[in-house]
Amino acid sequence: MTGAANPDRLVCAGEFFTDLIFSDLEALPSLGQEVKTDDFAISIGGGAAITATAAARLGRPTELVTVWGSSVLDGEARIRLEASGVSCSLSQIRPDLTCGVTVAVSTREDRYFLTYPGASRAVEQHLLEERILNRMGRSGHIHFALTPSSWSAVRSAVRRLRGGGSTVSWDLGWDPAAGHSLAFRDLCRELDVVFLNEMEACKYAGAGSAREALAYFSHADNTVVIKQGAAGALASRNASPPICTEAINVNAVESTGAGDAFNGGFLHAWMARKSVEEALLAGNVCGGLSTRLPGGVNALPSRSEFDQQIQGLERQRVAGTEDE
């Protein structure tokens, strides 16, 4: 799969946030109102950090590349990430900054987010530095989770990393302007793996369904993954017919970060040279189990729990085949 110096290592590069999550409210507050709730959690946030944590908990050597501030929140996050097995040696600490913060407030039907970008604004410049790109390029796979300001700069970085023997994936997240950018579509064709959720994929592709969007983004040399939440996920490798997998059964409490947890499970399996279907199942397990508690990392599975879930799904598949 790769000619990199450390083919087993996954690098996740992107923005970091501390997530403050108020969940399961009866109703969203109106202006001037105060609503009190006992359903509150603090969690590591940002796509790169959640994906890195999910993969590290499965035993994957993992590195996070981001920019930290010097606040108490920044320090606590670093402690928690390193306790999960995520290395932060390529991340930068800026004493003049504070980490990004996102407040998520949700009922069972609706939610909103309030975000302070903070140190995340400095991430793109940091990860495109010559020495950082050189060190990232020693790894087997680099996963980007951010919206760039310059498509040309990141395309050059992707080409450089892939030319050095690494594979590269990207999860852009929600950026409506991307759908009008030819550079974004061109970048998707140059990546090894493209991650989108169903709403993003349909919006960016101008498509009426996930399958139409999958066809729009698929190319002879990439793998496109569209996450559908409770409906599972589908993917196409090298423009092949869609492969679909169902979500796992779980008592979901809150879904913030579930898509990024999915990415961690998928990439762990994909780097182990599992099939696309096996990688989708791994993503479904990590993404599904992450919803058991508020926050993207608070309910991620350990390796033993992950293995039990995968074995259970395999037994179900075999039993279903025998019944046919």
Summarised one tens digit per residue, pLDDT across range 170-190 is 998 888 787 778 888 888 889
Instruction: Say what the pLDDT of residue 324 is.
Output: 56
**pLDDT tens figures, 7-17:** 999 999 999 99
Assess if residue 318 is contained within a domain. Answer: no
Q: In sequence order, what DSSP letters do the residues of 267-282 get, joined into one string?
A: HHHHHTT--HHHHHHH
Whether 130 has a pLDDT exceeding 60, the answer reads yes
Nearby residues of 18 by Cβ (< 8 Å), 6 or more positions away: 42, 43, 44, 45, 73, 77, 99, 100, 101, 102
**pLDDT tens figures, 104-123:** 888 877 888 899 999 999 99
Lowest mean pLDDT among 65-74, 151-160, 171-180: 171-180
Apex 77 CA angle, 71 and 83, nearest 5: 145
Q: pLDDT confidence of 86, banded at 50, 70, 90?
A: very high
Whether 315 has a pLDDT exceeding 70, the answer reads yes
Q: Please, how many CA atoms are within 13 Å of residue 122, restricted to the half-sphere of its CB?
A: 17
Instruction: Say what the pLDDT of residue 321 is.
Output: 58
pTM of the model: 0.94
Sign of CA pseudo-dihedral 92, 97, 98, 101: negative
| Cα separation, 155 vs 302, whole angstroms | 35
Assess if residue 114 is contained within a domain. Answer: yes
Paired tokens of 224: 């496109």
Assess if residue 323 is contained within a domain. Answer: no
Assess if residue 43 is contained within a domain. Answer: yes
Domains of the chain: total: 1
Instruction: Say what the pLDDT of residue 175 is.
Output: 83
Query: Are the beta carbons of 265 and 306 closer than 8 angstroms?
Result: yes
Paired tokens of 147: 């919206």
| Cα separation, 31 vs 99, whole angstroms | 27
Instruction: Say what the pLDDT of residue 320 is.
Output: 66
| Cα separation, 237 vs 246, whole angstroms | 18
| Cα separation, 40 vs 100, whole angstroms | 18
| Cα separation, 319 vs 324, whole angstroms | 9
Instruction: Say what the pLDDT of residue 111 is.
Output: 80
Listed residue (213, 192, 195) closest to 203, CA to CA: 213
Whether 318 has a pLDDT exceeding 80, the answer reads no
**Type of residue at 14:** G
**pLDDT tens figures, 249-270:** 999 988 889 999 999 999 999 9
Residue 85 CA: distances (Å) to CA of 37, 58, 137, 142, 231 = 33, 10, 20, 17, 31
Q: 3-state DSSP call for residue 132?
A: helix
Paired tokens of 142: 């680099």
Apex 297 CA angle, 34 and 72, nearest 5: 65
Percent of the chain with pLDDT over 70: 97
CATH number at residue 96: 3.40.1190.20
Q: pLDDT confidence of 27, banded at 50, 70, 90?
A: confident
Instruction: Say what the pLDDT of residue 28 is.
Output: 86
Assess if residue 276 is contained within a domain. Answer: yes
Whether 94 has a pLDDT exceeding 80, the answer reads yes
Highest mean pLDDT among 110-114, 188-192, 282-286, 320-324: 282-286
Instruction: Say what the pLDDT of residue 132 is.
Output: 97
Assess if residue 1 is contained within a domain. Answer: no
104 burial level (CB within 10 Å; 0-12, 13-18, 19+): buried
Query: Are the beta carbons of 165 and 177 closer than 8 angstroms?
Result: no
Rounded to a whole number of angstroms, the CA Rg of the chain reads: 19
Tokens 């960016």: give the residue.
Answer: 204
Instruction: Write down the mean pLDDT value for the chain.
Output: 92
Assess if residue 316 is contained within a domain. Answer: no
Containing domain of residue 210, as a range?
A: 6-26+37-311
Residue 303 CA: distances (Å) to CA of 82, 253, 308 = 17, 22, 9
**pLDDT tens figures, 201-236:** 999 999 999 999 999 999 999 999 999 999 999 999
Assess if residue 168 is contained within a domain. Answer: yes
Instruction: Say what the pLDDT of residue 2 is.
Output: 58
Highest mean pLDDT among 2-11, 197-206, 313-322: 197-206
